[in-house]
Amino acid sequence: MFTNASSGYQISTLCGSLGTAAACIESVCEPDVAKQLIVKLQNWYKVAKFPTYQPENLNLPLTESESVLYSDSVGKFMEVSGYDIILLNEKNQ
């Protein structure tokens, strides 16, 4: 259902995890409450240290995206880590 959200909705825009979470929140909350929760979620995402999942033997650096955009958060991680995101995904599989 949310496969279109990957890679920032295929065009490096909003992080797909945020769009998916927003849809889930909206499915169980009243509109005014959903809006408040989504704003809190987005503000948290901008300062959270990612990646929280640390594959064995990779010693990935933690970065803060300072943005809700896929291109910003992944780009910042790539810059700090020196990893190419495609190679990182292949190595982890």
pTM attached to this predicted model = 0.74
pLDDT in tens, 8-41: 555 556 777 888 899 999 999 999 999 999 999 9
Residue 88 lies in a domain: yes
**Cis bond before residue 51 (omega within 30° of 0):** yes
Q: Work out the end-to-end distance of the chain between its first and last CA atoms, rounded to an integer number of angstroms.
A: 23
**In this structure, is residue 22 part of a structural domain?**
yes
The range of the structural domain enclosing residue 77 comes to 13-92
| 4 within some domain | no
- Evaluate whether residue 81 is within a structural domain: yes
Residue 16 CA to residue 34 CA, distance in Å, equals: 17
pLDDT at 86: 64
In a domain, 8, yes or no: no
Q: Length of the chain in residues, anyone?
A: 93
Question: Per-residue pLDDT tens for 51-62?
Answer: 889 989 888 999
Task: Find the Cα–Cα–Cα–Cα dihedral 60, 63, 67, 69, rounded to 10°.
Answer: -10
Question: How much of the chain exceeds pLDDT 70, in percent?
Answer: 76
Domain total in the chain:
1
Residue 3 lies in a domain: no
